[in-house]
Chain A
Amino acid sequence: AQSVTQLDSQVPVFEEAPVELRCNYSSSVSVYLFWYVQYPNQGLQLLLKYLSGSTLVKSINGFEAEFNKSQTSFHLRKPSVHISDTAEYFCAVRINTGGFKTIFGAGTRLFVKA
């Protein structure tokens, strides 16, 4: 069975500090990887995705994630966070077995302090 593990439930960090949100997955078949962000009282929005090619993918607001196949990880990073980055972040895998089932991790709440 496939699974997604987000190792940290909460990450407090000061503004302008770097942050890393960790994600590991397990799957016996090929997958596509996603990070979604959820701001308070809103639905999830796609932040970035890895499908193939370069293992480093970037979002328009400064986040990046690197696919590491040997470690089955897809950690999300940002070199300098802002107060507005405070949100819950979900790592997700889509299983490419013809059904495109998407499984989400439990989420990591990023709290940026001034």
Chain B
Amino acid sequence: DAGVIQSPRHEVTEMGQEVTLRCKPISGHDYLFWYRQTMMRGLELLIYFNNNVPIDDSGMPEDRFSAKMPNASFSTLKIQPSEPRDSAVYFCASTPQGPNEKLFFGSGTQLSVL
């Protein structure tokens, strides 16, 4: 398996623009997580899905952030409009059903909002 695949690897955009980050989880994994990593806040859980259904989005910072999972093999995290303080590394992770399973992380998307 290719692992969790995120795209793009790097994204540079201007303030006010819409940004869409993409994630393809490992096939067969029922859970998908979106995390944001910054120097100031460390690794923060934004939202997670179970079987394509959002379970907990309490970590989504503002209404400018939205996430979808239209099917088991694809998820998006959208920021509209983007702001400089959104600059961070965004990680997607997936895990199979079961509490003893580790998270499999993608390589992350480095987002820079100018």
Contacts and interface: CB of A to CB of B under 8 A. Distances in A.
Interface of A: 32, 34, 36, 42-46, 49, 51, 90, 94, 96, 99-107
B107 A101 contact: no
Contacts of B50: 99-100
Interface residues of B, number: 24
A90 B102 CA distance: 13
A89 to B, nearest CB: 12
B45 A102 contact: yes
B10 to A, nearest CB: 11
Which 9 pairs, one residue from A and one from B, show the smallest C-beta to C-beta distance?
A43-B105, A106-B42, A46-B102, A104-B43, A44-B105, A51-B100, A107-B42, A43-B107, A96-B99
Contacts of A51: 99-100
Question: Which among A34, A44, A103, A106 has the greatest number of chain B C-beta atoms within 10 A?
Answer: A44
A107 B55 CA distance: 25
A43 B31 contact: no
Chain B interface mostly: strand
Contacts of A107: 42-43
Contacts of A94: 99
Nearest to A42: B107
6 contacts: A43-B106, A51-B99, A96-B99, A101-B56, A102-B45, A102-B103
Nearest to A106: B42
A74 B102 CA distance: 17
Contacts of A90: 42-43
Contacts of A103: 45
A34 B18 CA distance: 35
B108 interface: yes
Contacts of A96: 99
Given A43-B107, A49-B102, A99 B42 contact: no
Nearest to A47: B102
A103 B33 CA distance: 11
B42 A102 contact: no
B100 A32 contact: yes
A18 B56 CA distance: 39
